[in-house]
């Protein structure tokens, strides 16, 4: 670039420096990026607002009208007698036929929604305590089974295994397994855990569901943990070996602490996935209606169960606003809160470990 | 082969000038060393001896195998799955690649400092203490940390912030910390792989001064890209170069000449050495 060419004067240079070139493609690109972000945010906010709005009657509590169809209705006094108990009713005009419909008026609160069991006959007393227990139970089992197995396998593959044809084959297969639809894991859980190992797992039990979910997320745990371990700089390993550390000491003192934030991120993503899956639960036999809670610690694990995603599915199949919309939305909000709590814990832990390694 | 003089000269240890002119105790003796990465030969036919309590420099252009040879001296090449070593690497007469030799113990005795400062992302104190702790050090750890930091000329700068992260230090300080860390396992030899290439001239000067003190107690082998550095700090210099295989454009490193540093730089026996040290090549 020779500035000394004949037509370039100081003034021309100054003009060039001051004048901005029209960067059309750059601006269009920036616009597209903003549009993408905007669309994403709008979609997510709409979804959250809509669900929360539907769930408001459940979250806030208040009076609920339940249709009473009993033949024993005393239309004069507006009461109905069930099992010797007299319950007041409210009469409303049927908008379609013009006849009269009778409703029970009950109080519902968030507390009862969280602490009651499934109740389709009295929707106002319906609750999701069984689903919450099941979902938390699955979370614990995923943490107990999938994380140690997955992280262990990842450490072996990254730090110990030789780069042989076998390990590459295993690696490719683990990656493929991560893409297998969850319903397939459901079938696996049904065949092996519910049927073949039924005497041990209790068949259609929380234990079967927890192990199925653990197997479902295992590939994701392995892949994310392996990526995190691969991201540990080799210079750190060399430093460890250089002062006479064994491979175990290098892994224990340097590789794992450095990779831990990344491993945790993967673990949290996996856990959130396990908590949100419904398809495998259908196959391993989560309860779809009313059931009595098993008693005793062992029975709660090897007995009947359900989980929140399954309950959302079940509620939406019931007639009536109270279950179909309100209870389903309320359950979704609770499920989202649990997932949020899991992720928040993960982020806090990750930040703590990240601060440690700098 | 044009380097017959070199090879024949080196086969007689401690006598000819091409053995580095050494008469002291030999710490290392490389005999017909060949290093392969898979089927590719990275270094061929290296013979040389390293003298005790002296600084030996490996110089040469990029890809000449000097770092590879250095990493054979404490079995660091074991960490590369495809690497394979043939020939003898004798340390005080013991073959380091004997199946009975424990590479972990080798690395405790033969410490290493790397090209890029690589402190652990831990406190300054823990950086030094890690090596002694894992090797079952029973004495006064505080005293050891202070002593090694003094040896590495770093104590005065960091004595008030031993509990702070080593990642907050300057590059030169980090590299001296890495030297202190290597000294903390009480090694016999210090291998340095271009320890100053990431440092500014002032930090480099400090490390070169430090090397002069360290050689009183340790044997130092240093790989360097910087010929002036080799000339300044070392007693003996080995010049490596690379043969390029025109078929596949891969480089195989080989030792051209090994002698007293002053001979290498003022009166080299091989033309290739002369071309390199006078800046005509490489």
pLDDT digits (tens, 9 = 90+) for B113-137: 999 999 999 999 999 999 999 988 8
The answer for residues whose C-beta is within 8 angstroms of residue B210's C-beta and 6 or more apart is B152, B153, B176, B179
Alpha-carbon span A182 to A180, nearest angstrom: 6
Which residues of chain A, if any, have pLDDT below 70?
1-8, 357-358
| Interface ipTM | 0.85
Which of helix, strand or coil describes residue A15?
helix
- Binned at pLDDT 50, 70 and 90, residue B163 comes out as very high
A136: exposed, middle or buried (Cβ count in 10 Å: 0-12, 13-18, 19+): middle
Are residues B57 and B222 in contact, defined by beta-carbon separation less than 8 angstroms?
yes
Q: Residue B60, by phi and psi: left (phi above 0), alpha (psi -120 to 50) or beta?
A: left
Are residues A299 and A204 in contact, defined by beta-carbon separation less than 8 angstroms?
no
pLDDT at B16: 37
Does B112 contact A237 at a Cβ distance shorter than 8 Å? no
Alpha-carbon span B224 to B240, nearest angstrom: 11
pLDDT at A97: 83
Q: Which helix (H) or strand (E) holds A80?
A: strand A79-82
Query: Given CB atoms, is A243 within the 8 Å cutoff of chain B?
Result: yes
pLDDT digits (tens, 9 = 90+) for A206-257: 999 999 999 999 999 999 999 999 999 999 999 999 999 999 999 999 999 9
Instruction: Please name the residues between 248 and 287 in chain A that touch chain B, using a CB distance below 8 Å.
Output: 249, 253-254, 257-258
pLDDT at A293: 85
pLDDT at B247: 79
Q: pLDDT higher for A96 or B167?
A: B167
Q: How far is A329 from chain B (nearest CA, A)?
A: 47
Which of helix, strand or coil describes residue A64?
strand
Alpha-carbon span B157 to B97, nearest angstrom: 40
SS3 labels along chain B: CCCHHHHHHHCCCCCCHHHCCCCCCEEEEEEEEEEEECCEEEEEEEEEEEECCCEEEEECCCCCCHHHHHHHCCCHHHHCCCEEEEEEEEECCEECCCCCCCHHHHHHHEEEECCCCCCCCCEHHHHHHHHHHHCCCCCCHHHHHHHHHHHCCCHHHHCCCCCCEHHHCCHHHHHHHHHHHHHCCCCCEEEEECCCCCCCHHHHHHHHHHHHHHCCCCEEEEECCCHHHHHHHCCEEEEEEEEEECCCCEEEEEEEEEEEHHHHHHCCCCHHHHHHHCCCCC
Are residues B86 and B34 in contact, defined by beta-carbon separation less than 8 angstroms?
yes
Does A238 contact B181 at a Cβ distance shorter than 8 Å? no
Q: How far is A282 from chain B (nearest CA, A)?
A: 47
Name residue, tokens 């019931």.
A318
| Residue A110: CB atoms within 10 Å | 15
Beta bridge partners of B36: B41, B84
Q: Which helix (H) or strand (E) holds A62?
A: strand A62-67
Alpha-carbon span B244 to B255, nearest angstrom: 14
CA B256 to chain centre: 18
Q: How far is B79 from chain A (nearest CA, A)?
A: 8
B138: exposed, middle or buried (Cβ count in 10 Å: 0-12, 13-18, 19+): exposed
| Residue A277: CB atoms within 10 Å | 23
Does A239 contact B119 at a Cβ distance shorter than 8 Å? yes
Pairing of strands B83-91, B26-37: antiparallel
Of B81, B120, B165, the CB nearest to A239: B120
Of B107, B130, B167, the CB nearest to A358: B167
B200: exposed, middle or buried (Cβ count in 10 Å: 0-12, 13-18, 19+): exposed
pLDDT at A292: 86
Q: pLDDT higher for B138 or B10?
A: B138
Q: How far is B265 from chain A (nearest CA, A)?
A: 32
| Residue A143: CB atoms within 10 Å | 17
C-alpha angle with apex A239: A261 to B253, nearest 5 degrees?
125
pLDDT digits (tens, 9 = 90+) for B266-279: 988 888 898 888 88
Query: Given CB atoms, is B38 within the 8 Å cutoff of chain A?
Result: no
Q: Quick one: average pLDDT of B74-98?
A: 90
Which of helix, strand or coil describes residue A174?
helix
> Residues for chain B: how many in total?
282
Torsion of CA A109, A113, A114, A118, to 10 degrees: 160
The answer for residues whose C-beta is within 8 angstroms of residue A320's C-beta and 6 or more apart is A67, A123
Alpha-carbon span A356 to B120, nearest angstrom: 11
- Chain B residues touching residue A239 (CB < 8 angstroms): 114, 118-120, 178, 181
Q: Which helix (H) or strand (E) holds A308?
A: helix A308-316
Torsion of CA B146, B152, B154, B160, to 10 degrees: -10
- Chain B residues touching residue A357 (CB < 8 angstroms): 121
Alpha-carbon span B125 to B246, nearest angstrom: 51
Pairing of strands B236-245, B55-59: parallel
Mean pLDDT rounded to a whole number for chain B: 86
Give the DSSP letter of residue A201.
H
pLDDT at A5: 55
Instruction: Please name the residues between 48 and 107 in chain B that touch chain A, using a CB distance below 8 Å.
Output: 74, 76, 79, 81, 104-105, 107
Q: How far is B77 from chain A (nearest CA, A)?
A: 10
Among chain B residues, the shortest Cα distance to A253 is held by: B130
Query: Given CB atoms, is A355 within the 8 Å cutoff of chain B?
Result: no
Alpha-carbon span B112 to A235, nearest angstrom: 12
The structure's pTM equals 0.83
Asked whether the predicted pLDDT for residue B12 surpasses 80, the reply is: no
């Amino acid at each position: 670039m020779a500035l000394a060419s004949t037509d370039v004067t100081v003034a021309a240079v100054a003009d060039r420096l001051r004048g901005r070139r029209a960067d059309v493609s750059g601006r269009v690109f920036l616009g597209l990026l903003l549009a993408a972000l905007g669309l994403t945010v709008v979609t997510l906010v709409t979804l959250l607002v809509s669900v929360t709005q539907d769930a408001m009657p459940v979250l806030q509590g208040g009076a609920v009208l339940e249709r009473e169809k009993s033949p024993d209705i005393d239309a004069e006094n507006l009461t109905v007698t069930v099992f010797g108990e007299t319950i007041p009713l409210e009469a409303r005009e049927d908008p379609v036929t013009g006849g009269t419909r009778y409703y029970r008026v009950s109080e519902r609160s968030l507390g009862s929604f969280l602490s009651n069991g499934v109740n389709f006959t009295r929707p106002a007393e319906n609750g999701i305590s069984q689903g919450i227990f099941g979902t938390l139970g699955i979370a614990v089992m995923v943490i107990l089974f999938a994380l140690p197995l997955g992280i262990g396998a990842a450490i072996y593959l990254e730090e110990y295994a030789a780069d042989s044809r076998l390990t590459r084959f295993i690696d490719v297969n683990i990656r493929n397994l991560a893409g297998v639809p969850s319903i397939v894991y459901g079938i696996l859980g049904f065949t092996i855990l519910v049927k073949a190992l039924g005497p041990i797992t209790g068949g259609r039990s929380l234990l079967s569901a927890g192990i199925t979910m653990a197997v479902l997320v295992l590939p994701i745990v392995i892949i994310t943990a392996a990526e995190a371990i691969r991201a540990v700089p080799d210079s750190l390993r060399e430093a460890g070996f250089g002062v006479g550390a064994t491979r175990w000491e290098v892994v224990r003192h340097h590789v794992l602490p450095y990779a831990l934030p990344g491993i945790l991120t993967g673990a949290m993503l996996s856990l959130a996935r396990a908590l949100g899956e419904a398809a495998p639960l259908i196959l391993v036999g989560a309860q779809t209606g009313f059931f009595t809670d098993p008693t005793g610690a062992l029975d709660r694990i090897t007995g009947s169960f359900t989980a929140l995603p399954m309950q959302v599915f079940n509620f939406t199949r019931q007639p009536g606003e109270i279950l179909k919309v309100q209870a389903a939305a309320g359950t979704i909000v609770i499920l989202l809160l649990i997932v949020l709590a899991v992720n928040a814990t993960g982020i806090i832990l990750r930040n703590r470990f990240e601060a440690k390694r700098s | 082969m044009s380097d017959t003089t070199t090879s024949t000269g080196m086969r007689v240890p401690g006598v000819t000038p091409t053995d580095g002119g050494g008469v002291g105790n030999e710490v290392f003796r490389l005999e017909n060393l060949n290093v392969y990465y898979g089927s590719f030969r990275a270094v061929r036919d290296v013979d040389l001896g390293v003298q005790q309590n002296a600084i030996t420099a490996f110089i040469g252009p990029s890809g000449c195998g000097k770092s590879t040879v250095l990493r054979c001296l404490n079995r660091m090449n074991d960490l590369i799955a495809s690497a394979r070593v043939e020939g003898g690497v004798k340390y005080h007469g013991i073959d380091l690649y004997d199946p009975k030799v424990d590479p972990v113990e080798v690395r405790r005795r033969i410490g290493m400092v790397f090209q890029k400062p690589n402190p652990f992302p831990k406190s300054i104190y823990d950086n030094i203490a890690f090596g002694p702790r894992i090797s079952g050090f029973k004495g006064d750890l505080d005293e050891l940390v202070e002593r090694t930091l003094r040896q590495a000329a770093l104590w005065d700068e960091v004595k008030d912030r031993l509990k702070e992260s080593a990642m907050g230090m300057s590059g030169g300080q980090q590299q001296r910390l890495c030297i202190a860390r290597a000294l903390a396992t009480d090694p016999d030899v210090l291998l340095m792989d271009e320890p100053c290439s990431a440092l500014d001239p002032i930090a480099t000067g400090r490390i070169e001064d430090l090397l002069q003190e360290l050689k009183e107690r340790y044997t130092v082998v240093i790989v360097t890209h910087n010929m002036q550095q080799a000339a300044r700090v070392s007693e003996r210099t080995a010049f490596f170069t690379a043969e390029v295989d025109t078929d596949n454009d891969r480089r195989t490193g080989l030792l051209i000449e090994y002698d007293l540093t002053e001979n290498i730089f003022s009166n080299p026996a091989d033309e290739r050495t002369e071309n390199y040290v006078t800046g005509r090549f490489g």
